Every structure is written in structure tokens, then in C-alpha cells.
């Protein structure tokens, strides 16, 4: 019995154009989509800088 009532509420919300302004359920997906390349780039940069330090250390040991 609960499903038809919720479907009716959903239909009335979609008919009302202002319902989109109150919808916040997709916000986390949008933030993750925008932040994922930045996080991966930061990790890659950190690995690169770590590699530079490792190369300097190994070069100093060989002398």
C-alpha cells in the first residue's frame, strides 16, 4: 500500500518545477566527480616528488 502513495508524491513533486531546487541527493556524486581527478593528481604528484628524493638519496650513496 505504501508504494502507490509514494509514487503519487513523486509525480506531484516532478510536476512542481521547484522540487528540483530542494533535491540534494545527487550533491555527493557531483562533489566526488569533481574532486576525484584533483585527489588522484595530488597522489601522483606526491609519488613523483618522493621519487625525486629517492633518486637524490641513491645518487648521494653512490659517491
Greater model confidence, 42 or 7 = 42
- If one counts every other C-beta atom within 10 angstroms of the C-beta of residue 13, the result is 14
- Non-local (6+) Cβ contacts of 19 within 8 A are 13
pLDDT digits (tens, 9 = 90+) for 30-57: 888 999 999 999 999 999 999 888 877 7
Confidence of residue 63 (pLDDT cuts 50, 70, 90): low
| Mean confidence (pLDDT) of the chain | 77
- Non-local (6+) Cβ contacts of 13 within 8 A are 19
**Which is nearest to 13 in space by CA: 28, 61, 50, 5?**
5
pLDDT digits (tens, 9 = 90+) for 11-33: 776 666 655 556 667 777 888 89
What's the helix, strand, coil split of the chain in %, to 5? 85, 0, 15
pLDDT for residue 44:
97
Amino acid at each position: 500500500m505504501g508504494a502507490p502513495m509514494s509514487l503519487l508524491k513523486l509525480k506531484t513533486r516532478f510536476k512542481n518545477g521547484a522540487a528540483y531546487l530542494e533535491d540534494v541527493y545527487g550533491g555527493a556524486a557531483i562533489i566526488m566527480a569533481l574532486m576525484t581527478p584533483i585527489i588522484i593528481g595530488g597522489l601522483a604528484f606526491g609519488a613523483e616528488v618522493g621519487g625525486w628524493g629517492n633518486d637524490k638519496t641513491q645518487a648521494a650513496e653512490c659517491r
